[in-house]
Amino acid sequence: MNAITRVLQTVLGMVFLGAGGSKLAALPKQVEAFEHFGLPDWFRRAIGSLEILGAVGMLVGLVRRRLAAFASVGISAVLLGAISTHLRERDSVRHLALPTALLGINTLVGWRAVRALRARGAGGKPEQV
């Protein structure tokens, strides 16, 4: 299961690098989407920055599990915001599918990261029995 979690964590990191990068690069599709939702341009840049930070946290978290756990919390907040925005706008189920699936994957990765940290103990070293 650990290998699968690492693959999913890598996929999350890459997805959020792309998503955040497209927002920061002001790709027309992203600009139009934020305008459609009535959100200001600074918010697009803020979300893009949070997505990049979450992606870096996920990727560095492959080595530093604690960082993956924190990144998972941040990514969850962004995804819950995306889901609530789509629900508020009464978008089709098609628009909800990706953020919902990513939230599920992110939850699994975050849960596994926290479990790995707990198994090692609060100090980051293996527990003494």
Indicate the burial class of 110 (C-beta count within 10 angstroms; 0-12, 13-18, 19 or more). buried
* Residues 67-78 pLDDT 10s: 999 999 999 999
pLDDT at residue 56 is higher than 70 = yes
pLDDT at residue 10 is higher than 60 = yes
User: Amino acid identity of 19?
Assistant: A
- Gap between the Cα atoms of 118 and 129, Å rounded: 14
Q: What pLDDT does 4 receive?
A: 92
- Gap between the Cα atoms of 59 and 92, Å rounded: 31
* Residues 91-120 pLDDT 10s: 778 889 999 999 999 999 999 999 988 887
* Residues 36-54 pLDDT 10s: 999 999 999 999 999 999 9
* Residues 11-24 pLDDT 10s: 999 999 999 999 99
Greatest Cα pair distance, the chain, in angstroms, is 57
Per the structure block, which two tokens stand in for 26? 């002001």
User: Amino acid identity of 102?
Assistant: L
Domain boundary assignment for the chain: 2-118
pLDDT grade for 125, boundaries at 50, 70 and 90:
low
Expressed in percent and rounded to 5, the helix, strand and coil fractions of the chain are: 80, 0, 20
Torsion of Cα atoms, 95 then 12 then 67 then 86, to 10°: 0
